[in-house]
Structure 1
Amino acid sequence: MTQSPHSVNFESHRPVVMGRNGMVSSGHPLASQAGISILQQGGNAVDAAIATAAALNVVEPLMSGIGGDGFIMVHWKETDRIEICNGTGAAPYASTRESYLPDGIPTKGILS
């Protein structure tokens, strides 16, 4: 068992890992390594996330999948732009991006 070097005492069954230029975390070390490999080759965080997710489908096929829910928030440093994707359910068939712009996405009802 490992203890945290940050004065937080709790038992862990995984090693403490530290980095300086990037980080990948997942439910399986081989999937995390896939993402780290992409970062080391010059890829960005989105590239690493895709590689990690793909690897999770191999190492944890019953726990991960392309059809699951997801929240994604990306900050593009070059343009200081933030993009968000909420993939947590089906959208109404006729919905478009423009239909949500005036009032935002409602939290209740058929258009939520």
Structure 2
Amino acid sequence: MTRAVGIDVVDLDRFKTVVERWGDRLLEKILTPAEIKHCRGKAAALPSMAVRFAAKEAFIKCLNPTQYRLFTWQSVQVVNAETGKPSLKLQGPLADCLAPVRVLVSLSHSDRSAVAVVIFDSQD
């Protein structure tokens, strides 16, 4: 049973402008060190960073007020399986709160935008 759906679209030109203005300070706030390392290892680093930001924004849209209070940018990490399939790794109190919920994510990006969809699915 689907409990919540969140979607977010990031304009890559706007994201690039913000990253150029704030640099590593911004990236270190919104991405985990592992995410930054992963993205910087790719030819298309900026879209990879933007789609991870979109995933976290979509994730936030699924949270209820109690869960939202537990959210930090570092408590959610986009990880990829060897096949490239993305998933969200939750950490800290937020992970404990959402333990009974299956969190699904789909990511995509083009040369203009990055999009993420997050679904909270009950496991019962």
Q: TM-score under structure 1 normalisation?
A: 0.31
For CA contacts below 8 A with separation 6 or more, give which structure has more relative contact order. 2
Higher strand share: 2
Q: TM-score under structure 2 normalisation?
A: 0.29
Larger Rg computed on CA atoms: 1
Higher helix share: 2
